[in-house]
Amino acid sequence: MENLFGIPMQSIMIALLVAFGLCLGVGGWIYLRHRIIFRMGIRNARRRPAQTSLIVIGLMLSTLIIAAALTTGDTLNYSIKSTVLDILEHTDELVVPANGDDAEANVQPGVTFPQQVAADLEAALAGDAVIDGVMPVLTQPVPILNPKTQLSEPMVTAVGIDPAALGPFGGLRDIEGNDIELTALPEGAVVLGKTTAERLDAVVGDTLTVYVENEPHDVTVAAIASDSILTGMQDPGQAGGFVMALDRAQALLELPGQISFIAVSNAGGVADGAEATDAAVTAIEQALGEAPYQAVRVKQRALDMAEEGANVFTSIFLVLGLFSIAAGILLIFLIFVLLAAERKPEMGMARAVGMKRRQLTEMFLAEGIAYDLVSAMIGAALGVGVAFVIAGVMGRLVGEFFDIVPTAHWRSLVVAYSLGVVVTFATIAISSWRVSRLNIVRAIRDIPEPQRQRAGNRWLIFGILGVVLGALLMWVGADTDKLFPYSIGISLLPLSLAAALRRFGLPARLLYTVASLFVLTYWLLPDSLHQKLFPVLSGGMEMFFVSGVMMVAAATMAIIWNAEVATSLVGLLGRTFSRWLPAVKTAVAYPLASKGRTGMTIAMFSLIVFSLVMMATIDRNFTELFSGEEAAAGWDIAATRVASDPMPAFDQALAESGVDTSKVAATGRLRQVASYSSEIRMAGTQEWKRYTINGVDAAFIEHSHLPVKIRATGYDSDAAIWEALRQNPDLAVIDGFALEGPTVQVGSPSNFILQGVQAGDTTMEPIQVEIGDPLSGRTRTVTVIGVLDPKVSMIFGLFVNDAAFDQVFAQPNQTTYYVQTQPGTDDVAFAKEIKAKLIAYGVQAESLEKLIEQETAISRGFLLLIEGFMALGLVVGIAALGVIAFRSVVERRQQIGMLRAIGYQRSMVAASFLIESTMITVLGVGSGTILGLILSRNLMTSDEFTGSSGAAATFLVPWGTIALFVGIALAAGLLMAYIPARKAASVPIADALRYE
């Protein structure tokens, strides 16, 4: 990848290497100036290998998450770019009829222009050092059949190229690498693309039937070549096509002297040719002059889209991985707090004999740097392994479109390692400074610090600063319409106020309970109440992380400061479980005595479980929302036709072709102009935008189930909306993706956004928009009277009736015939029958239920992949429990001896440790689960998703997935507690009492 979050990766790497050098410089300075202090810190890392291994596992996770995300981005970037370069080869630009938008211009099926344009362009560019090839190309979608195998494809691309111009484009080679001379091929021979050959099960020598203007023509497979733009493969996942000499293609397709586009090759190789795109486009535009054609940066655009796609995926992984990184930072603090607690007497003695506080900090820093450098290296290596596993899963999900090639770029590994070291070092530095603040006498005697009624001035200062910062963030958020700073500010404000008020002796439990409940109320209020009490601001994906951190922090604070309630509940167990009551009381009392470490452990589990529950729940509800019964608008089969050849009425074509029409209950037609072939804008504005525009016939309107989410005033039902559109060519309905709202806008910035209505509205005023055909220049103003419910996920765009469509557009890019079948019909088999019988017309028929299942499977696969990636964060919680459990045995060795001396049995000591770990795990898992479910429910039942249908919102809980996450967390918690619990139970009484 070249960029991340809009910042060049090279700049990120340099900045991180400088920071990494500073971290090493600190370690080197400690070593040179205080070598004994340095050795004392390193010695602690070597003394206990098991503990050190556990610490390294905990510290490496942040680097692992970063390395996995960056390597996954590199893998996607390389894989997509490789596919792009394989398809385009030496073709860098295309020249096509102008439509006024270079960002969206492309080859349009059925649109041709005179071949003489290519000859004139070649002559004008002769001698240009930037461009080394110009080639006229004719393409046309046609149906094709292999009579031998009876396999067919309703839409492959017939390609005609000029053999004399083929040299600068790398020539044409078969799949074995042998050169192919098109001029040497016999009459009627073609070169078949690899994908087309596989789909037709065709081999060299087979005779295929191609349908042109509904008439069959036989062609012979002379060779099979790799998929490329020269063999009809323009985008990954297409059926490909076949290629022949241009004059023969023009004769076959009955388009004499016509071409579809002009391919241009820049000087240089396949990859570096794109670097000259700007100069080449300038030269082409100068050569074209005022001619109605334009240059399309086809290779540069495709490579930029590959980079953007990789960046988006990496950003998603990094943002969602922030939960694990945050938990890892908490673990670092926890580790050093526990190390300090274990070495408290040792540090007290060191301070007593003259060691300064700064030197204690340096000792912990030296130890931390040793952990840091090793853990980051292991994390980076394991991150690459995780990314390769992710690549394997993605390969199974999208292998139909392009090959996923696991790739690790050295720059990304340097960034991941350096960032992991820097983040961990900063956390270690803060925690080292924190643990060095101790009272010498109390440290030597190993007694706790006294609990004061009033907090110190430090709490007052930090509290006031927090209040000021929170208020400032709220003001910035409200002023810029950004939810991110506003939500942080309003969450920080009460917590900081509670900290400041502690200075005046107010009860800490009351202050923190009220503050945390306010924060939880802000985040968990139902959407309808939230909009009434707080300003409606815009936010993005970052809110997922912010909401989790703020809610988990508030919930953990509420739990910790009210955990004494648990001790009263323990008394209720006394009568029934009197034998185990002492172990239970001990298990409860110890965590409550160390609120800080207990709170951090609870927060770790809560953060990770919250993110997993949110993702799983949203995945379940979105899948149900967009793949439910309304997704296909009541239709069962979609029969799509791209060819512009004449065809009888669909019902007539079915009957004449021998299709069993008794299975047909109803049909309807939708003609579609894709976004790159249309124009749309708000009436009265100047700038044209892009959007898919559909023309629907009366039968489609009559038999479709198209719920309207937002209705214009004056229309009291969905039926009234569609009846008005059927009768009036001045009216239109648009889908919900054209609205501004909380959903992520997909596609180009030039996509149309409907102004004056937002997601979540229930009614709207009629809105006028202007639609147009950029080729013919015809335009028409229509009035939008409704917004389609997003549950109709298989049909999209702006809808007008046939009369309005015909007045603007000369022909559609494709026509889709929708079929409702009789009950009991096998839709998959019937779709295959329609496809086979209408092959001459180039009809591609598919079961809509099957298409929905395929799309859902891919999207769910990616979501499950992300959930699995996020589940790595459970390692943090498990490591935290392991650290706490192992350290508790050492720290409480004398307490264990005392308990055994007064009658505790070994089983009771072990049970105490197990109950303690289980209680912490249950509190964290329970908190994260409840918060995730409530927030998910508020999101999925908000106005933005329920629409205006008036039906009660359905909220689905993926209990199985949640049970799996909870089960893993609890099982791991018990496992990590079991070993130290057994160790604690086996400690000899005398040795424990003498332990120092």
Over residues 501-518, the pLDDT tens digits come to: 888 878 888 888 999 999
The band of 153, judged by pLDDT with boundaries at 50, 70 and 90, is confident
Q: How far apart are CA 632 and CA 616, in angstroms?
A: 24
Sign of CA dihedral 548, 551, 553, 555: negative
Name the domain boundary from 814, 849, 884: 849
β-pairing verdict for 637-641 and 798-801: unpaired
- Which residue type is seen at 277? T
What are the tens digits of pLDDT across the range 835-846? 888 888 888 899
| Domain co-membership, 237 together with 376 | no
| Domain co-membership, 646 together with 733 | yes
pLDDT greater at residue 317 or residue 984: 317
Q: How far apart are CA 933 and CA 931, in angstroms?
A: 6
Check residue 314 and give its pLDDT: 78
What are the tens digits of pLDDT across the range 333-380? 777 777 776 667 777 777 777 778 788 888 878 888 888 888 889 889
Q: Is 439 domain-assigned?
A: yes
Check residue 359 and give its pLDDT: 80
Q: How many residues are given for the chain?
A: 996
What are the tens digits of pLDDT across the range 599-619? 888 888 888 888 888 888 888
| Domain co-membership, 140 together with 289 | yes
| Domain co-membership, 232 together with 281 | yes
* DSSP single-letter state for residue 171: -
Other Cβ atoms within 10 Å of 770 Cβ, number: 16
Quote the tokens at residue 743.
């959903």
The least confident of 286-300, 524-538, 648-662 is 524-538
3-state secondary structure 167-232: HHHCCCEECCCCECCHHHCCCCEEEEEHHHHHHHCCCCCCEEEEEECCEEEEEEEEEEECCCHHHC
Between CA 587 and CA 939, with CA 613 as vertex, the angle to 5 degrees is: 130
| Domain co-membership, 658 together with 779 | yes
The alpha carbon of 653 is separated from its chain's Cα centroid by a whole number of angstroms, namely 43
Check residue 744 and give its pLDDT: 38
Q: Is 920 domain-assigned?
A: no
Task: Report how many domains make up the chain.
Answer: 4
What are the tens digits of pLDDT across the range 857-888? 777 777 777 777 777 777 766 766 666 666 66
**Per-residue pLDDT at 948 exceeds 50:** no
Q: Is 952 domain-assigned?
A: no
pLDDT greater at residue 687 or residue 732: 732
The rounded mean pLDDT for the chain is: 82
Domain of 491? 455-560
Inter-axis angle of helices 906-940 and 581-593, nearest 10: 60
The band of 704, judged by pLDDT with boundaries at 50, 70 and 90, is very high
Q: Is 905 domain-assigned?
A: no
| Domain co-membership, 30 together with 116 | no
What's the average model confidence in pLDDT over 658-678? 89
pLDDT greater at residue 321 or residue 27: 27
**Per-residue pLDDT at 628 exceeds 80:** no
Other Cβ atoms within 10 Å of 194 Cβ, number: 17
What are the tens digits of pLDDT across the range 247-261? 999 999 989 999 999
Check residue 3 and give its pLDDT: 66
- Give me the phi and psi of 513, to 5 degrees please: -65, -50
What's the average model confidence in pLDDT over 51-67? 77
C-alpha radius of gyration, the chain, whole number: 34
Q: Is 513 domain-assigned?
A: yes
| Domain co-membership, 311 together with 279 | no
Q: Is 503 domain-assigned?
A: yes
**Per-residue pLDDT at 992 exceeds 80:** no
pLDDT greater at residue 583 or residue 556: 556
Q: Is 367 domain-assigned?
A: yes
What's the average model confidence in pLDDT over 222-237? 87
Q: Is 665 domain-assigned?
A: yes
The band of 826, judged by pLDDT with boundaries at 50, 70 and 90, is very high
CA trace torsion 566, 568, 574, 578 (10° rounding): 50
pLDDT greater at residue 296 or residue 527: 296
**Per-residue pLDDT at 571 exceeds 70:** no
Query: Which of 274-278, 581-585, 868-872 is predicted most confidently?
Result: 274-278
**Per-residue pLDDT at 272 exceeds 90:** no
Residue 770 makes CB contacts below 8 A (sequence gap 6+) with: 680, 681, 682, 683, 779, 780, 781, 782
| Domain co-membership, 115 together with 192 | yes
**Per-residue pLDDT at 952 exceeds 60:** no
Name the domain boundary from 524, 541, 560: 560
pLDDT greater at residue 857 or residue 158: 158
| Domain co-membership, 79 together with 107 | no
Inter-axis angle of helices 874-891 and 959-985, nearest 10: 20
The least confident of 1-15, 468-482, 712-726, 963-977 is 1-15
Percent pLDDT > 90 in the chain is 26
Name the domain boundary from 296, 325, 347: 296
| Domain co-membership, 192 together with 271 | yes
The answer to whether the CB of 27 falls within 8 A of the CB of 366 is yes
The band of 315, judged by pLDDT with boundaries at 50, 70 and 90, is confident
- Give me the phi and psi of 219, to 5 degrees please: -130, 155
Check residue 743 and give its pLDDT: 39
Task: Give the max Cα distance, the chain.
Answer: 104
What's the average model confidence in pLDDT over 435-451? 65
β-pairing verdict for 763-764 and 708-712: parallel
| Domain co-membership, 286 together with 329 | no
| Domain co-membership, 463 together with 536 | yes
**Per-residue pLDDT at 851 exceeds 60:** yes
Percent pLDDT > 70 in the chain is 86
